[in-house]
Copies of this chain bind each other. A is one copy, B any other.
Amino acid sequence: MLANLKMELKTEENDFIPYQKAVILQGILMEQVREEYAAKLHVTGLHPYSQSITNLNGRNIWNICTANEEAFQEIMLPFQEERFSDFYMEDDKWKVSVVQKQLFKIEKKEFMEQYYFENSDRYIQVSFQTPTAFKSQGEYVCMPTLQLIYQSLMKKYDAASDDETVESGEVLEQLLEYSRIVQYQLRSSSYSVHGKRIPAFMGQMKIKVSGPQAMVNFLNLLFHFGEYTGIGIKTAMGMGAVKLIEGRKG
């Protein structure tokens, strides 16, 4: 099951909560989950969830996404309980109220069918809504390439799935051969994690996929999955939140 919980947050003074605060919110999130699960996440280093802060028409939206059944049970259920209605952010001395909760969930099977058996769009338009970065050969990369994006998406898809593996060098090569960036607007940005500044980027990108329809569907599937997992590094700390912009079917 894939799930997305949107919580509208309000401080007493109606403060704007910048995306950077997701680093703090990860702490709030971890306080809600059972110790055993927190320890498991820590040991495996896998993150079958992502969370970020975005701002929508002046409202602070805390997005939490889970990408498999276990994460849903362990993370989403505690947040859905009524008692989770406010919390305190110490650094800023903010008393934060959760004024609205909205949960969207979809069975993985149903999610897959949407892309495998339909004619997905050949144009994929991605908006990188919070700073996004990759690590390659030990260094941060603040300028995206399709290779880094696809590798990250496949890795995250596999990490969230018990039953299947999609990551393969061969598939990657094919995806790269048949797709290219046709439009973009990107700028470098950065994200601070515990005092360390990570070079990153934000913006939009439109990709055209020219291969067989099955490949178009697969890439759409990966990117839509990426809306739950994020793209790149530190997606559990608020980086790499992506949203697909739906265009005309093409």
Contact = CB atoms under 8 A, between A and B. Distances in A.
Nearest to A146: B143
Nearest to A183: B188
A37 interface: no
Contacts of A184: 143, 186-188, 201
> How large, as a class, is the contact surface on chain A?
10 to 19
Nearest to A190: B183
* Pairs A-B, 4 closest by C-beta atoms: A185-B187, A183-B188, A184-B188, A143-B181
Contacts of A187: 184-186
A185 B185 CA distance: 8
A78 interface: no
A233 to B, nearest CB: 17
A143 B184 CA distance: 9
B185 A199 contact: no
A38 to B, nearest CB: 35
A60 B186 CA distance: 28
A101 to B, nearest CB: 37
A16 B225 CA distance: 47
A77 interface: no
A163 to B, nearest CB: 36
A87 B187 CA distance: 40
A113 to B, nearest CB: 34
Contact of A182 (B142, B181, B186): B142
A199 B186 contact: no
